[in-house]
Structure 1
Amino acid sequence: MFWVLLLLPAWAAAATACTRLCLAAVRAANVDSSTGRGHDLTLYEAAFLSGGPARVAELTLVSMARQRRLLLAHTGWATVVDPDGRDDMERAVLGAIGPAGQSPIAPVRRTTAAADSVRRLAERLVAAGLAVPDGARTSVAGAVRQVQAAAAAVAALGVVALLLPGQATEGQGPVAAWFLLPLILTLSCLAIARVEVHPYTRWASPAGQRLLATLSRHAAGDDRAYLTSVAVRGVRAVAEPDLRAAFAHRERHL
């Protein structure tokens, strides 16, 4: 019966991890159902809710390139054509490129994503209940990792219990069954989290996701619809071959 001493920590690890994940998911999803009603998303807001700060930087680069105010070469370099930014995001891009007027895309993207203008955008969306706070994303991700570790620990403890001396006489079936229960608990919790929690671990809250769906359905005008697609889907929505090649060059070197 020494295996019981291994069963207790297995159950404790499974129960603690699953409880933490459930609580983290509830906090992340705890948004008023009326949040966001009457709010019209800007393209920058849609980009942040879809892909975070990096997506905002990508949208700004694509928008300026389509206006011929920024040249994004297929070699992965950005060159300034118009040095006057029309908003805070464009000024952040120009500042990231620097006074030389030319820079590789990768550092421009990283610097722009970390700019104060993007941070202020994130704070406004979190305050409006449309974006998930950093703490909530971190909490859910940490809880998922703890459940994964608990599942591995339960499996390891179960194997050790089955290998204990004397199990041949007691029978391995009941021992395996007792350890199988907490293993099923952790694996089921991970499966449910994959379906139910995964949307909340991204940038948009449930209210933000509803607005994104509305934006995608009602985008009007060729240029607006194009930039909306880039905001929601990222650089894979870029249609121009040369412009797509510029981002593909960047991705190969990240």
Structure 2
Amino acid sequence: MLWLPFLLVAWTAAAVSCARLCLAAVEAAKPPHRPETPADRDRVRELSLYEAAFLAGGPSRVTELTLVSMHRRRRLLLAHTGWATVVDPAGEDDLERSVIGAIGPGGQSRTAAVRTAAARSPAVHALADRLVAAGLAVPEGARAAVGASIRAVRGATALTVLLAAAVPLLLPAGHVPPGPGMAWFALPLVLTLGCLVIARIEVHPYTRWASPAGQRLLARVTPRDPLTAVAIGGVAAVDDPALRAALSAP
């Protein structure tokens, strides 16, 4: 019976991690203020380019869109060598000013560093807060909780396999259970694997930036121009190879 503690640990890890994932998914699915009504569903709301970029790819996508927009209007120069240079230091909105501020007083900085700093700026956080308040974006806390819960279930799956493999290796021959006894380890494994499959189908939308309401609005946005294509598709949608190389530089 020395193998029973191994089985108990596997069952506990599987049950706790799956329960945690279920609770996180329920919390992520809750509307921010009130349940969505059919009228809300049918109401036509135009997303701005910045809003579409956030819902499609989060803060980094907003920064990519801002950089491309400023480069196309000759307010910023993005070199294929990976450097960003300010041409016009007067930003037209908070997001442009956050990019200029991320470049610094010298007027030149590495593009990768600018993208990282601008994505964490107060302007991007304010945009995220507005979308969350409107019920179009998933709160950061809910996204983090779902992601952490899924990792916990994966960890419980690996732990179950390791414990099942450790029983015949670590225990004396007389204490190793027969085949039917080892089959008990399959039950927590089935539980965690089944939970991961269900999470892939049901929970996966809540790990994205857009809520179900935001995803419906985002589906109405068509890449009718180069900036809209970048907002939806990111750097891969940039039609200028030199600019795409500038944004892709490490």
How high is the TM-score relative to the length of structure 2?
0.89
The answer (yes or no) to whether the contact 2:138–2:211 under 8 Å persists in 1 is yes
Quote the residue 1:232 is aligned against.
232
**1:14 positional shift:** 0.9
For residue 238 of structure 1, what is the amino acid of its counterpart?
V
For residue 30 of structure 1, what is the amino acid of its counterpart?
K
Quote the residue 1:90 is aligned against.
96
Q: Secondary structure at the match of 1:209?
A: helix
Q: 1:47 aligns with which of 47, 50, 53?
A: 53
**1:125 positional shift:** 0.8
The answer (yes or no) to whether the contact 1:131–1:205 under 8 Å persists in 2 is yes
Q: Distance in 2 between matches of 1:160 and 1:70?
A: 59
Quote the residue 1:245 is aligned against.
245
1:23 aligns with 2:23: yes
Q: Deviations over 1:212-240 (max 9, x none)?
A: 11113xx54xxxx3211101111111010
Q: 1:124 aligns with which of 130, 153, 156?
A: 130
**1:64 positional shift:** 1.0
Q: Secondary structure at the match of 2:85?
A: strand
For residue 210 of structure 1, what is the amino acid of its counterpart?
R
C-alpha change, 1:56 and 1:2, in structure 2 (3 Å) is same
1:154 aligns with 2:156: no
Q: Secondary structure at the match of 1:215?
A: coil
Quote the residue 2:44 is aligned against.
38
The equivalences for 1:165-244 within 5 A come to 165-166=173-174, 171=178, 173-216=179-222, 220=224, 225-244=225-244
Q: Distance in 2 between matches of 1:124 and 1:38?
A: 18
Quote the residue 2:115 is aligned against.
109
**1:167 positional shift:** 5.5
The answer (yes or no) to whether the contact 2:2–2:175 under 8 Å persists in 1 is no
The answer (yes or no) to whether the contact 1:77–1:105 under 8 Å persists in 2 is yes
Q: Deviations over 1:115-158 (max 9, x none)?
A: 11111111111111111111111111111121112112222222
RMSD of aligned Cα (Å)? 1.9
Q: 2:83 aligns with which of 71, 77, 93?
A: 77
Q: Distance in 1 between matches of 2:105 and 2:8?
A: 64
Q: Distance in 2 between matches of 1:162 and 1:193?
A: 32
Q: Distance in 1 between matches of 2:207 and 2:53?
A: 16
Which has the larger displacement, 197-206 or 41-50? Answer: 197-206
**Structure 1, gaps ≥5 residues long:** none
* Identity, % of aligned positions: 61
Deviating above 6 A after TM superposition, structure 1's stretches of 4 or more consecutive aligned residues are none
